[in-house]
Structure 1
Amino acid sequence: MTCNLAYNPRFMFLTKTIRYNLLAILACLLWSSSFVTTKHALDYQTPLTLAGLRFVLAGLIQIPLCGHLLAPLRMLRKEFFTVLLVSIFHTIFLYGTFFIGMTWVGGAEGAIMIGVGPLSSALMAHLFMHDDKMQRRTLVSIGFGMAGVVLISLASKPWSPVGLKEFFGLMLLLSGAVVSALGNVVVAKRKGGLHPIALNSAQMLLGGVVLLLIAFPFEGAANFALPPAFYGQLMWLAVISATAFAIWFHLLSKIKVSKLNLWKFLIPLSGATLSWLLLPDESPTLPSLAGMALIVAGIVIGQRESK
């Protein structure tokens, strides 16, 4: 008697799990590629203006994928409170603090603050979601991942004396990680109820406009007389946001918040790898390789299914 694997429940589960994991890896790799681009783009444009332009453009890019050109506007009208919350958590606050913070802190400090993301997401899910309580396996996984982030950060750039501006930048990045974790909970609580791309487009358009309005009194009108290199960087940042967040919102409707966000430990890992490959004065060291091993171990532990 033959066995059709397409109708084997275990085979279908494994296939779906692999697909979700690959999508999560893709989103994290896209996010990790944005740091170098952001640093270059900040040479041409002020932080909040750059963030606003990035997300307005990212929201517009997604409109053709929403099924209807007016889908984001309908989402805003019917689900305004949800869109507003997600926009505040995932765009306005997170990237407002990120773009300002990255102008004040170094790569090592910033990487450690980014590494707080999976921990804060697990804590928020434990507090606000009844079906996503923190388990011992999750704690062990987070411990391995955080240790790896610290090792890579210390190996990438030695610590320097931290002044008031650097400390404020660190606190901005930390607050952004915590608020973003709340945003993950908001999206996860609406599992299956909203179209992920329409929601992402609507929240980015709203967030981008708000960021531009906030930027105007502090940074003045946006300067558009800039070289083509800036517009290439802006387009890439918008594509990253449009793609990675659409993937992430889709996965949040399928996977528990705490488990999905363990993949974010890949961001500092892949960021260090890109530095070694693209920057001539950067090379791997023993502590950084050990940090990568810890991150991989943490992800493997966290993604294993409980028996």
Structure 2
Amino acid sequence: MNFLKSTAFLAIIACILWSTAFTGIKIGLHYTPPLQFAGLRFFLAGLLLIPFVKQLPLKLRIARAHWKLIALVGLLQITIEYGLFYTGLNMVSGALGAMIVGSGPVFVTLVAHFSMQNDRLSTRKIISIFLGLVGVVIITLGQKELSTEGNFILIGILLLILNNIISGMGNVLVSKSASTIPPLILSSFSMIFGGATLFLFALPIEGFNPKPVPLEYWMALGWLSFLSATAITIWYTLLNRPGVKVSNLNMWKFIIPVVGALLSWTILPGESANIASVVGMLVIAASILVLTINTKGSKG
């Protein structure tokens, strides 16, 4: 039972859940504009967590006392981060999006180095960052879409990389807020606030044209809301654990590009593996392994 509560096991569960998001998002984007779809997903995800909040009146008082932190996390990790993520993913294939976002630990390591005194860069971390960036370049140059829609593909890639940087900043913020507010309260209310803000922000930009949608849309939205509620709460809980470093924890995200790409190639029509994608994936995985070896024996 201790293994089921371990940081490693819970991090793997969260990353596997996140890796399933790319396919669901691509399905949802066929019927709803990206920013509205993202806002709706996270608003519902936050609501899903409310029934699990024990002593709700007390927790509401805690939330009111820390409303600035909740708003900041919501804006940073939901409104801005996922606004970039959905917009970028709408411009690239699901597999490519999964692999670029999977290089996120590289960027988290950089953010943590400049933000946290106990999470500094080392020689191996620098090597890992270099390998990760090389992997992203290999994947990018290997995309067939570059020959016909290169500008959109490149913009999408840049937005996803910026999403990785914002994610690192959000992880550091949550880690620094340890013992300030319960993780379940932070995740639920930040998703409600961030999702609602993103949806309202999107309305004048994308317009509002509701139309009938098939069952697969509601299935995708329901699954995405569930996995967000579960994975983000797990992640916030782990970031609040004593001894867990932001960069070390994010190393487990190497699972995301592998599982996410495999799901996209298996489920989404018109998406298949190519040599550049596989090589880039292996290089990114190698960059994560370098960091994992560097942190062997440390907490987190």
Find the counterpart in structure 1 of residue 259 from structure 2. Answer: 270
Q: Counterpart in 1 of 2:126?
A: 139
Q: Which residue of 2 aligns with 1:45?
A: 32
SS in 2 for 1:26: helix
Q: Contact conserved, 1:149 with 1:268, CA < 8 A, in 2?
A: no
Residue 65 to residue 147, structure 1, CA distance change in 2 (3 Å) = farther
Match of 2:91 among 94, 99, 104: 104
Of 230, 237, 240, 1:250 maps to: 237
Is the 2:15–2:255 contact (alpha carbons within 8 Å) kept by the matching residues of 1? Answer: yes
Tell me the C-alpha RMSD between the 2 structures.
Answer: 3.0
Shift in CA distance, 292/171, structure 1 to aligned 2, threshold 3 Å:
closer
1:59-79 deviation line (CA, Å, top 9, x unaligned): 011112221344664344111
In structure 2, the partner of 1:175 is: 162
1:122 corresponds to which residue? Answer: 109
Instruction: Within 5 Å, give how 1:189-228 maps onto structure 2.
Output: 189-221=176-208, 223=210, 225-228=212-215
| Deviation of 1:95 (Å) | 1.1
Once residues 214 and 95 of structure 2 are traced to their aligned partners in structure 1, the CA distance between those partners, rounded to angstroms, is 30
- From 8, 27, 44, the counterpart of 2:14: 27
Q: How big is the shift at 1:100?
A: 1.9
Task: Answer yes or no: is 1:62 the counterpart of 2:42.
Answer: no
**Segment of structure 1 superposing worse, 48-57 or 216-225:** 216-225
Higher-Rg structure is 1
Which residue of 234, 248, 251 corresponds with 2:221?
234
**Paired AA for residue 85 in structure 1:** L
Q: Does 1:260 align with 2:249?
A: yes
8 A contact 1:115–1:146 mirrored in 2: no
The separation in 1 between residues aligned to 2:10 and 2:128, in whole angstroms, is 20
Matched to 1:131, the amino acid is N
Q: How does 1:53-92 map to 2 (within 5 A)?
A: 53-70=40-57, 73-92=60-79
Deviation of residue 258 (structure 1)? Answer: 1.1
Number of the residue aligned with 1:3: none
1:275 deviates by 3.3
Give the gaps of 5 or more residues in structure 2. Answer: none
Q: TM-score, length-normalised on structure 2? A: 0.84
Alpha-carbon deviation of 1:214? 1.0
Question: Which AA in structure 2 matches 1:176?
Answer: N
The aligned counterpart of 2:82 is: 95
1:166-204 CA distance string (max 9 Å, x none): 443333222222112111111011123321111000100
Q: Deviations over 1:230-288 (max 9, x none)?
A: 11111011011111111111111232111111222221111222234445876656665
State the one-letter code of the partner of 1:128: S
* Paired residues of 1:151 and 1:287 also in contact (CA < 8 A): yes
| Distance verdict in 2 for CA 1:176–1:90, change over 3 Å | same
SS in 2 for 1:88: helix
Higher mean C-alpha displacement, 197-206 vs 63-72: 63-72
Distance, in Å, in 1 between the alignment partners of 2:275 and 2:245 is 34
Render the CA deviation track for 1:128-175: whole Å, top value 9, x for unaligned.
111111122323344444545555666675643555444433332222
Q: Unaligned stretches of 5+ in structure 1?
A: 1-5, 7-11
Change in 2 beyond 3 A, CA 1:107/1:225 = closer
> Which stretch has the larger CA shift, 110-119 or 156-165?
156-165
Q: Is the 8 A contact 2:26 2:94 kept in 1?
A: no
Aligned to 1:302: 291
Q: State the TM-score, normalized to the length of structure 1.
A: 0.82
CA contact (8 A) 1:108 1:156 kept: no
Pair 1:253–1:227, CA change in 2 (3 A): same
